[in-house]
Structure 1
Amino acid sequence: MTVRILPCGDRALSVELSDRIDETVNARIIDLTAALSSDPIGGIEETVPTYRSLMVLYDPAIIRGKDLSLRLEERLRILQPGRTSGRLFSVPVRYGGPVGLDLEDLAAMKAMTVEDLIALHASVDYRVYMIGFAPGFAYLGGLPDALHTPRLAVPRQHVAAGAIGIGGKQANINSVAGPSGWRFLGQTPVRLFDPSRADAFLLKAGDRVRFRPIEAAEEADLAARIAAGAPGLEEIAS
């Protein structure tokens, strides 16, 4: 991998490992994040992992950017791959319904039945490449090629929290309500972000999710349990 460490203002560095989306690259970014958490470098205030890079925010009164860059290069040289292992979660999804606005149109576009599209979408494990855009918003890789679809030309101004979408080669789970140009197939009652919880974020980069189709009655039951404090996610064996 070709490493570039670039300044981002006077309080942050971007550690770039590639110019493309790749699971191996992403795993190394997550390993570096974990290494800096378990054995911190003095002056680092926060790390933000992305698809192919790690943003490192630091206090220049404690460590200068040039010195930190050298320390990060050294960490990468000695980094042991595979030091972190993501969890696998089952995510319940009601396909269609009031939030699955694009389900039928997508099925027609792909020359599939709605049932076949749902089965294909739920047939694979998705990797959480990064959390971003909004608090807890999960960018997912692993979308089957047949479901790759461009975003909408005109974004919708309001899409509900928990919406399950497709954007290009990616899949996603909305964490909060907001505007979006993604195409949406359904909704999960699971709330990826809830600041009232001890751990506000349910998913982390490197985790995997497997979608489980549910009907409206189970969705309502799960929504009630989640409102009462249940997480709604079920961790399953790999």
Structure 2
Amino acid sequence: MLRILPSGPRAFLVEVENDSQVLSLLNEVANRATTSWIKHVVDIVPGERTVLFDGVADLNAAQADVQSWQLQVGQAGPGMTVEVECRYDGPDLDRVAELWQMSSEDVVNYHSRLLHRVVFCGFAPGFAYIRSLDENHMVPRRASPRPNVAAGSVGLARSYTGIYPRPSPGGWQLIGRSDTRIWDEKREPPALLTPGTRVTFIPI
């Protein structure tokens, strides 16, 4: 069920039940991108369970239109696919293997064969929350965050995989590292991983 909340004179926020519905909502937006109000929207910002529409000329018409959408749970458009090479040698790999009750090698095989999809971005420029894990493979954040996590580190938290675009503090369980440049201000767009993008992790 969609819940629509006002968010300023030209914006509104759509709340959904889960991140799968966020992807479904973004798919609807893509399918309707040429309709009268969507093509003039200034910005569309997805979150874990929300999508913000900003710069909407006719709020009443737009909100009524969105309220009528029938979302198919988990349905998302094809999107582009980005391959990310990953050395699965992170300091928390054995911890994740223990949580999942499998070997470290099995963790690598499992994670690299999953269907990964970016739901939203945040925390730091270029940091993508990549939906990866099912309910049986949820991973808790570390009890004590590390004061410094190296750029390119690949970590798990809850149902998400993340790749640190730059050195920063972080509390995710680190299972590997990648040399793929996730954020580049000279690139357009600077972020390699944007909402809706499919991600394939290639063990090296």
Output the amino acid matched with 2:104. V
Decide whether aligned partners of structure 1 residues 37 and 102 sit closer, same or farther in structure 2, where only a CA change above 3 A counts. same
Match of 1:29?
A: 25
The offset of 1:49, in angstroms, is 1.9
1:72 to 63, 77, 101: 63
1:207 is matched with which residue?
Answer: 197
Distance 1:33 1:135, change over 3 A: farther
Q: Cα offset for 1:126?
A: 0.9
TM-score, length basis structure 2: 0.82
Shift, 1:32, TM fit: 4.1
Q: Return the offset for 1:109.
A: 4.3
Residue segments in structure 1 that go unaligned for 5+ positions in a row: 215-238
Partner of 1:86: 79
- The residue type equivalent to 1:87 in the other structure is M
Q: Is the 8 A contact 1:33 1:49 kept in 2?
A: no
- The verdict on how the C-alpha distance between 1:172 and 1:208 changes in structure 2, with shifts beyond 3 A counting, is same
Work out the percentage of aligned pairs sharing the same amino acid.
32
Match of 1:226 in 2: none
* Residues 125-161 of structure 1 deviation map (CA, whole Å, 9 limit, x = unaligned): 2121122222221112232555422101111122122
Aligned partner of 2:46 among 46, 49, 67: 49
Tell me, which stretches of 5 or more residues in structure 2 are unaligned?
none
Q: Map of 1:30-179 to 2, 5 A cutoff?
A: 30-34=26-30, 37-39=33-35, 41=37, 44-58=41-55, 63=57, 67-74=58-65, 77=68, 84-96=77-89, 100-145=90-135, 147-179=137-169
Please give the secondary structure, in 1, of the residue aligned with 2:42.
strand
The 2-side partners of 1:74 and 1:108 are apart by 48
Q: Which protein has the larger Cα radius of gyration, Structure 1 or Structure 2?
A: 1
Name the Cα RMSD after superposition.
2.8
The alignment's TM-score, normalised by the length of structure 1, stands at 0.72
Equivalent residue, structure 2, for 1:220:
none
Q: Secondary structure at the match of 2:61?
A: helix
What is aligned with 2:3? 4
Separation in structure 1 between the aligned mates of residue 106 and residue 18 of structure 2, nearest angstrom: 31
1:198 matched to 2:188? The reply is yes
Instruction: Kindly indicate whether the alpha-carbon contact (under 8 Å) linking 2:84 and 2:178 is maintained by their aligned counterparts in 1.
Output: yes
CA distance in 2, matches of 1:83, 1:163: 27
> Is the Cα contact below 8 Å between 1:29 and 1:53 reproduced in 2?
no
